[in-house]
């Protein structure tokens, strides 16, 4: 396999040596950890796609991951790939508006579909408790 990048890692225990960042969707390292070079060709998971991803969805997962989109799970039978999504722009502003008006428990479900070449987007906001806001 031809590679055009170098992989590095740190010697750290994820559970003990990191904590969720207050600034974004990542974990912060809490210790000074040794940086190590990872020899990609010697890793057991070099054929990870072939071992873990079903054949008919594999190339889609590879395409997404190779373009910086972190996939979480996939299923060729149900024809989906679940990806991480960082909210920004409109969704971040809406989240800020709701949170600043004392809503603490809600879910925003965004649906973006392409139907006959046309982009159709909708969103539902599901509130756990309507009385928790400052209007109630």
DSSP string for residues in 86-125:
---THHHHHHHHHHHTT--SEEEEEEEEEETTEEEEEEEE
22 alpha-carbon distance from chain centroid: 17
Q: What is the pLDDT of residue 117?
A: 93
Residue 76 region by backbone torsions, left for phi larger than 0, else alpha for psi between -120 and 50, else beta: alpha
Measured between alpha carbons, how far is 7 from 37 in angstroms, rounded to an integer? 6
Determine the 3-state secondary structure of 4 from DSSP.
Answer: coil
pTM: 0.51
List the domain boundaries for the chain. 1-42, 90-132
Give me Rg for the CA atoms of the chain. Answer: 20
Measured between alpha carbons, how far is 136 from 126 in angstroms, rounded to an integer? 16
Positions in the chain short of pLDDT 70: 1-8, 39-47, 133-136
Q: What is the pLDDT of residue 1?
A: 47
Sorted by sequence, the CB contacts under 8 Å of residue 104 that are 6+ apart come out as: 132
Determine the 3-state secondary structure of 41 from DSSP.
Answer: helix
């Amino acid at each position: 396999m031809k590679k055009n990048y170098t992989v590095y890692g740190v010697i750290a225990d994820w559970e003990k040596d990191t904590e969720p960042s207050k600034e974004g969707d990542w974990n912060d390292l809490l210790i000074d950890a040794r940086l190590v070079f990872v020899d990609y060709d010697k890793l057991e998971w070099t054929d990870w796609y072939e071992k873990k991803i079903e054949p008919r969805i594999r190339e889609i997962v590879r395409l997404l991951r190779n373009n910086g989109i972190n996939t979480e799970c996939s299923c060729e039978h149900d024809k989906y790939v679940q990806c991480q999504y960082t909210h920004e722009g409109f969704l971040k502003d809406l989240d800020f508006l709701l949170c600043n008006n004392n809503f603490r428990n809600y879910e925003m479900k965004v649906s973006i579909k392409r139907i006959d070449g046309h982009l159709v987007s909708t969103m539902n906001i599901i509130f756990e408790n309507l009385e928790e806001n400052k209007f109630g």
